[in-house]
Amino acid sequence: MIEWLFPMPVYCHKPTFDEIFLVQNEIKKNLPNIIENDNWDKPEGWEDEVETNIGHRWHSIADYGLTNLEQYIQKHTDLYRNELEPFMNNDIFLSHSWFNLNKAGHSQEWHAHTDSFISGVYYYQTNGHDGDLMFKNTNQFAQRGFFPTGKKVPEKVFYSPVEGMILLFPGWMDHRVQVNKTEDTRITVAFNWLTVNTLRKGLIKDERTNK
């Protein structure tokens, strides 16, 4: 028999309507202010086109008081950690969160959140066809197609977006977002959990420029 060694856990939850009713309404209520108040630039060094406030604000969830979203994320992060029982089971806190607006033709290149304990994304608005999230096999030989890469050991795994879906994964896992080939805008909230006991809020420029 084949024994599967060293699996890599990605947490995926697709909710019912009732589960996300308060979360969706909370974001809907605050989104006009978020879009109006924040800068939506492609960060320096990013290759693919995307609009995000990651370079403008440390913690969108905290700054805009999205408590229902924070509780939803906390609930599923606890489920993820409790099921895994990792050696590094430190106290963690939601340290950084940002909105992404993926319009027609937008995508995001391969990257990882190497300073993060756990990373994740919440899908607020999607038509389900506006770009899958892709994870790269963490084994460097599988990434290059060496045996036993194939149907049972894929080079990449794809997650199609669903409204209200939450994905959680180790921050160091390589991932990317496929091109949005539709005319609709996908809106997501991405976030990082850290073990360092420092909470950052407010605008990034305040810290970088001392203004």
Q: What tens digit of pLDDT does each residue of 148-181 get?
A: 999 999 999 999 999 999 999 999 999 999 999 9
**Cα separation of 139 and 156, whole Å?**
11
Q: In 3-state terms, what secondary structure has residue 50? A: coil
Residue 117: burial class (beta carbons within 10 Å; 0-12, 13-18, 19+): buried
- How many residues does this entry show for the chain? 211
d(CA 173, CA 111): 8
Q: Which two tokens stand for residue 62?
A: 């905290």
| Spatial CB neighbours of 70, under 8 Å, sequence gap ≥ 6 | 61, 62, 94
- DSSP line for 63-90: HTT-HHHHHHHHHHHHHHHHHH--S---
Instruction: Report pLDDT for 195.
Output: 83
Q: Are 175 and 110 in contact (CB under 8 A)?
A: yes
13-34 pLDDT, tens digit each: 999 999 999 999 999 999 999 9
Distance CA 68, CA 65 (A): 9
Say how far apart CA 155 and CA 150 lie, in whole Å.
7
Q: Which residue has the higher pLDDT, 17 or 115?
A: 17
What are the tens digits of pLDDT across the range 33-91?
999 999 998 888 899 999 999 999 999 999 999 999 999 999 999 999 999 988 877 78
